[in-house]
Amino acid sequence: MRMQAKAPVIGKGIPVSPGVIEGPVKIVESPEDVAAVKPGDIVVVKYSNPLFTLAAMASAGLICEVGGVLTHICIVSAEIGIPCIARAENITASLTDGMIITLDASQGLVYGSHE
């Protein structure tokens, strides 16, 4: 995507499940947050929790701050075929709900808005 060259890289992680998606951020910090995930959201979690699996299944992409490719939620993301990166250090501090980002899970990069 050419627009990525203009957009700032705001996070890096380990590619888990390839793909590129643009959409709004939904930070999931507790099981109560799962119900607020909408189709097209890019779910951001600090850590894996089996209760967050439903958030991953409803989302267009996933970013996990802590953990690796064998983290439960990352395995689920790969199985359902959504773009996913793991070990994206401090990503929850860099993002806010509703922020539009591009997740390039093939490269393990998160881009901010290109506007």
Give the model confidence (pLDDT) of 72-96 as tens digits: 989 999 999 999 999 999 999 999 9
Tokens coding 85: 């990166």
Per-residue pLDDT of the chain (115 residues; tens, 9 = 90+): 444 457 899 999 999 999 999 999 999 999 999 999 999 999 999 998 888 988 989 999 999 999 888 889 899 999 999 999 999 999 999 999 999 999 999 999 999 985 5
Just give the CATH number of 2-111. 3.50.30.10
The amino acid at residue 27 is: I
Q: What is the largest CA-CA distance in the chain?
A: 37
Q: Is 72 a catalytic residue?
A: yes
Domain boundaries, the chain: 2-111
Residue 44: partners with Cβ closer than 8 Å, 6 or more residues away: 25, 26, 27, 28, 62, 63, 65, 91, 92, 95
Kindly name the residue from 19, 53, 72, 113 that is annotated as catalytic. Answer: 72
